Amino acid sequence: MLFNLAKRNLTRNFKNYLLYFFSSAFCVIIFYTFLALSFDDTIKKAASESLLVDYSLKGAAMGLILFTIIFIMYSSNFFAHKRKKELGTYVLLGLRKRQIGQMMFYENFAMGILALIAGIFGGILLYTSFVSLLLQFIDVQVKAKLTISMEAMFATVLVFLLLTIVTSFEGYRIVYRFTVLNLLKATSVVEKQARGGKVAATIGVLLLFIGYAIALTPANSGLFYKDLPTAMQLIIVILTMIAGTFLFVASFLPAMLAKLATIKPFYFNGVNMISVANLRFRMRTQAKMMATISILIAITLSAIGFTGTLYENIRAQSENFISTDYQISNGNEAAAKKFIEIAGATNISYQNKVTLLTEKSTFISESKYRELMKQIFDQNVPPLKKK
């Protein structure tokens, strides 16, 4: 009976679950794609001389795991709390909390499995496009092919299956965490306005200023903190930006909204009163989540920018400082002509033709000797005088 009730609730409330379903499936697609790239033979072959791409993809996968856990846990908790009144109604109708918890477990587990299956299929179908974009970015002329990585699929299923089980148990526990009265009055609970601390807000702005100052100041500026090792500067920037972003969202924004509420010409102008009041109410419950998402986005964008900059610097250095010699033997005139055209088109210095002494005899004529000296060393050798 509980399974049939959960099935009916799932089909009836599927429109409400669409956002959760598509967001979870999208997380599965991105996670599977990045993980499959780290196991792909084409990418490994392209990065055979360097582990930068391989380690970058694995690091991105680990970051995606953290982001996915936070996002899905928050989304599952959000949708479960929206159904508090419905759960309270089930209690009044005579269902036990254990039965309601089992029903919530079935619904969350079924939705998670559906999102996992859809995400796996979507990742397999879109994988070739992601590989083509990556190969184009690193300027590798290799044609991507459709492949199915069993290692990536197994890891993706394992991670998201465990995550689905955890979120399903959280849905099971929600009915035990609240009384019937709290469940029925969930929609009428008044949230307190977020105020924010002035000290924490000031510290947050100061930390952001320090982080941006260190990151944007040129190396030859002569400032004292530029004498620190690059690794130490990077650690300081990361720590100050993370702490500053969290305090900025959690403390500075609520403090700024509270200050705007005291400015009467602004607060009572049009719909500003409704907008500011609504933001202050929402900031109390969502400030930490907004700060966490902002930090994860900042870390992701920083990793992408750092990887792209590092790759461009390595490629520029290889083009400027690593010389390459090509030798085309006599008899392959077509290849020599093609190479000369390419070299001339890219402003590469080259020697058009070099004549070498290939006579089998150890004796050559005097005229031939003078001709070779002129061609090879650009020297005019006077003729020998007869005694």
Average pLDDT, the chain: 72
Residue 119: pLDDT over 80: yes
Report which of 36, 10, 32, 27 is spatially closest to residue 115, judged by C-alpha positions. 27
Q: How many Cα atoms occupy the beta-carbon half-sphere of 263 within 13 Å?
A: 10
Highest mean pLDDT: which range of 18-32, 177-191, 351-365:
18-32
What's the CA gap between 290 and 107, in Å, rounded?
27
Residue 53: pLDDT over 70: no
Residue 188: pLDDT over 60: no
- Residue 78 and residue 19 in contact, taking contact as beta carbons nearer than 8 Å: no
pLDDT of the residue at 277: 76
* Per-residue confidence band for 69, with pLDDT thresholds at 50, 70 and 90: confident
* Per-residue confidence band for 150, with pLDDT thresholds at 50, 70 and 90: confident
pLDDT of the residue at 2: 64
pLDDT of the residue at 104: 79
- Residue 59 and residue 153 in contact, taking contact as beta carbons nearer than 8 Å: no
pLDDT of the residue at 68: 74
Tokens of 19: 């956002």
Q: Where are the domains of the chain?
A: 2-188, 198-321, 333-377
Tokens of 48: 């055979």
Residue 310: pLDDT over 80: no
pLDDT of the residue at 186: 52
Residue 179: pLDDT over 70: no
User: Which stretch of 39-53, 74-88, 143-157 has the lowest confidence by average pLDDT?
Assistant: 39-53
**Range 240-248 average pLDDT:** 82
pLDDT in tens, 87-100: 777 777 777 878 77
pLDDT in tens, 255-269: 887 788 788 887 777
pLDDT of the residue at 35: 77
Q: How far apart are the first and last CA of the chain?
A: 124
Question: Helices (H), strands (E): how many in the chain?
Answer: 15, 0
What's the CA gap between 99 and 202, in Å, rounded?
50
What's the CA gap between 185 and 207, in Å, rounded?
41
pLDDT of the residue at 210: 87
Please tell me whether residue 270 adopts helix, strand or coil conformation: coil
pLDDT in tens, 279-309: 777 666 666 667 767 766 666 666 666 666 6
Residue 330: pLDDT over 80: no
pTM, whole model, 2 decimals?
Answer: 0.57
